[in-house]
Amino acid sequence: MSVLDHLLSPLKVRNMELPNRAVMPPMGTNLGNDDATVSEAYLAYISRQSKSGAGLIIVEVAAVHPSGASIDSELGIYDDRFIEGLKKVAAVIHEGGGKAAIQLHHAGRESSFLLRRGEAIAPSAVPSVVYRQSAREMTIDEIKEIIASFGKAAIRAREAGFDAVEVHGAHGYLLAQFLSALSNIRDDQYGGSIENRARFTIEILEEVRKSVGDDYPVSLRLSAEEFIKNGYMVEDLLPILPDLVKAGADIIHASIGTHGSPAGITSAPSEYEPGFNAWRAGKFKEVVDLPVISVGRYNDPAEANDVIARGDADLVAFGRQTLADPDYLTKAKEGRPEDIRKCIACNQGCIERLMAGEGKIRCAINPETGQELLYPKGPAKVSRRVWIVGAGPAGLTAAYEASRLGHDVTLFEKEENPGGQLRFAGIPPNKEVYTDWMNWLVAQVEKKGVEIKTGFEVTDEMIEEGKPEVVILATGGQKITPPIKGIDLPMVVDIWQILSGEVQPGENVVVIGGGWVGMEAADFLIDAGSKVTVVEILKRSPVRKLFSHGYMLHKRLRDAGAELLLNTSIESIQEGSLKVECEGKEETISPVDQVVIAVGLKPCDELKQTLLNKGIRHYVVGDAAEVRRIIEATEEGAKAAWDL
């Protein structure tokens, strides 16, 4: 039998027959139209994702009531006018070979724009942990209205051609707000005991079941634990699970976390192992005899197969992995697991981009995601001779995309090994996935037939002799050395010397720079046994705790007793100490036996003027244009290749 025999086995739920146990869970995209209708961009996105071969595709949240949207562009299902667009969504999913479900949703208090308008509703007037504002407490009549709206939405979903619906009872939205004693302080039949707090969800399930009939599958997504101080635990939910099943649930989708959970646990960062949440799904299975979906940073079909084989779950959800590589399951079935582009759980494009209001969904390592309407299938009409200078994430992505489109690509890297900053990014704790991605990317570029010339620094003469038609400059950044008195002392090194092993970590170390480079430098040094002080000139940390990896960095530094000195400038470095100005006061840091410069990089685009002078068509991408994150590097590298 196949090594994926459990994952690839069929499953029947009421009248729905799934070809396998792989699930694409609902993920917000911000791709809907402003009037909550389905956009062409969303159809292109969901069509591509549906080609994953997953047995069940669950469409992202759809508001069951005008009072329940979390963002303006959230898909709507609260009126018949939405059915036509939703029919197209179900149809493209069916074209991909899987079954289609849609998640029925009400945000409750977790809607910033409704809170601003004073229109948000909730079980109680308790402030949102995220938005720090209170919604209005729902009346009994409003509770009945929302319950009815779930039933009507389910009918619309069935009419639109969806094979199932999922009721969203997780992640701190309205049903979860009723379930939680932290957000539900009502003293009527919907508050108090766990049984009373579950009443709202139970009555919604009963209404949905009554509306769609006995043969139509209904899934319920729950956070198995709130993962927040004084929140409910998995053991607290076990007594009510039979009641939820009796009310109409056919599938339990066991997620984790809520709004306000630390470290963005609902989209767990790389600090968490794939499948870390599976045991909670297993706890559910001990209580209820129906299919349970496990979710939790899965990026390997073989690992998912093992979870099903040992009985922790019946289905496994691949969320961010589907964004990173919609073809992951096909590659696994074809015996090509090494070709799977595995999600690195960086959250830059799928979570943080939306949280920071930067736009619509993307994937930091897959530039196709969210840009399906722009993504060229190829081949290019004209094959060009392309030189790419720099084999970091921007250059490697550009090389992959340009070769995929049929261009003649040569990739130059001045160092002895490709990877650029990725060679260092994967060294700090919990970031091995970056090294894995780098190795994957290099291997894929080589499979495309691209010649990677390492140890080559491209010169004016080489360009004159080689006469490339197009040059993509992905030369990255160069180290910044701040002008500090004493910077030339032997005790002063940079983080790249430490990470490469050229210099061993000291005992008492001061890290200059509290941005991402500095914080990860401190993390590495702490792991190596150093006592660390981080000095940052800004008044607030550039590493935001709002984002999952940032939260984890701050937590590890705090737990290790490291100091983070903000609003602090270095006056001078001396043997054994540093003179600093902290919050306007002069202070001395000692003892210090090592100072690590980790203030980051500045763009390196030295060949740009040469290319301009010679009139050679060129693009400057990634850190060579402006030092930023991986997502900007890969997107710019890809778009340069697409534009050829």
Query: How far is Cα 561 from Cα 574, in angstroms, rounded to an integer?
Result: 24
Residue 557 tokens read as 């530094």
Query: How far is Cα 591 from Cα 593, in angstroms, rounded to an integer?
Result: 7
Q: Are strands 477-479 and 492-494 parallel, antiparallel or unpaired?
A: unpaired
Query: How far is Cα 42 from Cα 57, in angstroms, rounded to an integer?
Result: 14
34 burial level (CB within 10 Å; 0-12, 13-18, 19+) = exposed
161 burial level (CB within 10 Å; 0-12, 13-18, 19+) = middle
Query: How far is Cα 334 from Cα 176, in angstroms, rounded to an integer?
Result: 40
Residue 381: CB partners within 8 Å, gap ≥ 6? Answer: none
Cβ density class 58-88: b for 16+ within 10 Å, e for less = bbbbbbbbebbbbbebbbbbbeeebeebbeb
Q: Is 173 tagged catalytic?
A: yes
515 burial level (CB within 10 Å; 0-12, 13-18, 19+) = middle
Query: How far is Cα 379 from Cα 477, in angstroms, rounded to an integer?
Result: 32
**Dihedral of CA 120/121/122/126: which sign?**
positive
The single residue listed with the structure tokens 């006018």 is 81
The one catalytic residue in 42, 45, 78, 173 is 173
Q: Contact, 353 vs 374, CB < 8 A? A: no
Radius of gyration of the chain (CA): 26
Task: Say whether 452 sits in a helix, a strand or coil.
Answer: strand
* Residues labelled as active-site residues: 173
